[in-house]
Amino acid sequence: MSQSIAEATVRHVAHLARLTLTDDEVEQFTSQLAEILAYVRKLSELDTDDVPPTSHALSIKNVFRDDMIEPSRPPGETLHGAPDSQDGFFRVPKVLDQEVI
């Protein structure tokens, strides 16, 4: 079967998605994504040059409410699901002085 997507691409996409894949997963996803992408490419049979995109089935555009001040959820409640927090903040490893990208 022709591989339309390279393992290197799969590793790059995994990085973009913030996933670490095992070598087995890379191999598996490379062939499965190739198969799925080959299938979905049937859309290219259609001429859609003059067709507007639909991102949403409703015709609703913008939804506004009155600009009223409402109480926020207390910080404790916002943090209740956090795996780690301190002094009312989410706690993460040090992010400064580090190459993140």
Partner 1 sequence: MQFAETVAEIARGIAVGDTSAEETARECLERIERADPRVCAFVSVDGDLALSRARKIDAARAAGETLGLLGGVPIGIKDNICTRDGHTTCGSKMLGSFTAKYNARVVDLLEAAGAVIIGKTNLDEFAMGSSTEHSISGCTRNPWDATRVAGGSSGGSAAAVAAGMVPAALGSDTGGSVRQPASFCGVVGLKPSYGRVSRYGLVAFGSSLDQIGPIANDVRDVAMLLAIIAGHDPHDSTSVVAPVPDYVTALDQPVRGLRIGVSSEYFGEGLDSTVADAVQAAVAELEGQGAQTVPIELPHMKYAIACYYIIAPAEASSNLARFDGVHYGRRAADPDDILDLYESSRSQGFGTEVKRRIMLGTYALSTGYYDEYYLKALKVRTLIKQDFDRAFDQVDVIVSPVAPTTAFRIGEKIDDPLTMYLSDIYTISANLAGICAISLPCGFDPNGLPIGLQLMGPAFGEQRLLQVAHQYKLQSDFRARIPPTPQAGA
Residues forming the site for partner 1 (CB under 8 A): 5, 9-10, 13-14, 16-21, 25, 29, 32-33, 35-37, 39-44, 46, 48, 51-58, 60, 63, 65, 73, 77, 80-84, 90, 92-95, 98, 100
For the chain, the straight-line distance linking the first and the last C-alpha, in angstroms and rounded, comes to 34
What minimum distance in Å lies between the beta carbon of 6 and partner 1? 12
At its nearest, how many Å lie between partner 1 and the CB of residue 27?
13
CB-wise, 53 or 71, nearer to partner 1? 53
Smallest distance, Å, CB 21 to partner 1? Answer: 7
Residues 75 and 43: beta-carbon distance below 8 Å: no
- Separation CA 14–CA 53 (nearest Å): 27
The residues, ordered by sequence, that sit 6+ positions from 90 with a Cβ below 8 Å of its Cβ are: 79, 82, 84
